[in-house]
Structure 1
Amino acid sequence: MNQLINDHLYETRNNLIEEIKLLSDTQLNVKPDANSWSIAQVCHHLVLVEESSVKAIAWGLKQEGNKQKMERKNVQLIIDRTKKITAPKIVEPAEDFFAVQQIIELLDDSRKKLTAFLDTIEDPSILVEKSVKHPAIGELPLDQWVEQIYFHEQRHIGQIKEIKALIKVEH
């Protein structure tokens, strides 16, 4: 995979872990209000999105035909939290109580699965030629499915910072 994309995935995930690693399990699970997600749920959502992205990319790679230069999308727009995006049911987080260490392990596991999967792609240039419909962005080249993972994570790091301020976590 492209080194720049690998660097962005790594850097963004490190930023996420820095935001959550010193929280107590209670802080991780408290919701700012009844209609909001807890930080644990935000992180669980990120795990589910990463796992679903791997499935979408794998499915896209298996599709016959469908090889053409796709229109590039500005996936960076996903960072803009002024635009509300409703999570599809498949990536809605559980209501479970999560421990900080448990969430970190889930995040590590989903990232290992992503990188292991990407490492199996012999010719990454195929990712530019094939696409799959993304629930929030529309038809998206497979390489941009990888990019949207870290942009989406950056979006939710902003949300986690807001939740921490709302529940009065000292920075």
Structure 2
Amino acid sequence: MNQFKDNLLETRNRLLNEIRPFRIDEFNKKPDQNNWSAAQVCDHLILVEIAFTKAIVYGLKKEDQKIERKDLSFVMDRKQKIDAPEIVIPNSEQIEVQQVIERLSESRKDLLAVLSTIKDSSILTEKYARHPIFGKIPLDQWIELLYMHEQRHIEQIREIKGIIGVEK
């Protein structure tokens, strides 16, 4: 469990370091009509974390059932386009970086509160929830997928910075 928490913390710190330099106009600027702004990427990450937390809570209530582990590695390949499910599509309202940081903190606090209720982390390999893209996956893979997904979008934010000319 500690490795999961370490990976979640390290990835979140990388994300926060990427978004702090943005001015509000840059943060909300879309690189083009077909792509999200950095603010929308962050809103998406918040929505995903909320949804994943709910999925983990739901999965913890299920009967134990060994589910085959999935190869999640393609999530890290930014060349592979993955359409976001409707429930995690961000809105287009303008938002400040500090508001996003607070919302990211709140969604992470909620996730960690759920994880803190787990006495034996092996239960995460014995219970599952259905993912909209991967199907049934063990709960430990939901956690792994969360930080991998965030890493993917950190790269997207870096790309956005380059396109719109944000200083590092």
TMscore range, shorter length: over 0.9
Corresponding residue for residue 17 of structure 1: 16
Corresponding residue for residue 45 of structure 1: 44
Q: Report the CA distance between 1:62 and its aligned residue.
A: 1.4
Q: Could you tell me which amino acid in structure 1 is paired with residue 142 of structure 2?
A: W
- 1:145 and 2:142 are equivalent in the alignment: yes
Q: Report the CA distance between 1:90 and its aligned residue.
A: 0.6
Compare 69-78 and 112-121 and name the one that shifted more.
69-78
Mapped partners of 1:143, 1:20: distance in 2? 28
Task: List aligned pairs for 1:4-83, cutoff 5 A.
Answer: 4-63=3-62, 65=63, 67-83=64-80
Contact 2:128/2:136 (8 A) holds in 1 = yes
Contact 1:8/1:150 (8 A) holds in 2 = yes
- 1:159 and 2:156 are equivalent in the alignment: yes
> Alignment partner for residue 114 of structure 1, among 97, 111, 114?
111
SS in 1 for 2:99: helix
Q: Report the CA distance between 1:124 and its aligned residue.
A: 2.2
Q: Report the CA distance between 1:30 and its aligned residue.
A: 0.3
SS in 2 for 1:166: helix
Q: Report the CA distance between 1:131 and its aligned residue.
A: 1.1
Mapped partners of 1:13, 1:75: distance in 2? 19
Give % identity: 53
Mapped partners of 1:135, 1:81: distance in 2? 19
Contact 2:129/2:136 (8 A) holds in 1 = yes
SS in 2 for 1:133: strand
Q: Could you tell me which amino acid in structure 1 is paired with residue 155 of structure 2?
A: G
Q: Report the CA distance between 1:159 and its aligned residue.
A: 0.4
Q: Report the CA distance between 1:75 and its aligned residue.
A: 2.2
Q: What CA RMSD, in Å, does the superposition of the two structures yield over aligned residues?
A: 1.1
Contact 2:21/2:167 (8 A) holds in 1 = no
SS in 2 for 1:158: helix
Contact 1:20/1:100 (8 A) holds in 2 = yes
Q: Report the CA distance between 1:42 and its aligned residue.
A: 0.2
Query: Could you list the runs of 4 or more consecutive aligned residues of structure 1 that deviate by over 3 angstroms after TM superposition?
Result: none
Q: Could you tell me which amino acid in structure 1 is paired with residue 127 of structure 2?
A: K
Q: Could you tell me which amino acid in structure 2 is paired with residue 24 of structure 1?
A: R
Contact 1:28/1:40 (8 A) holds in 2 = yes
Contact 1:76/1:148 (8 A) holds in 2 = no
Contact 1:60/1:130 (8 A) holds in 2 = yes
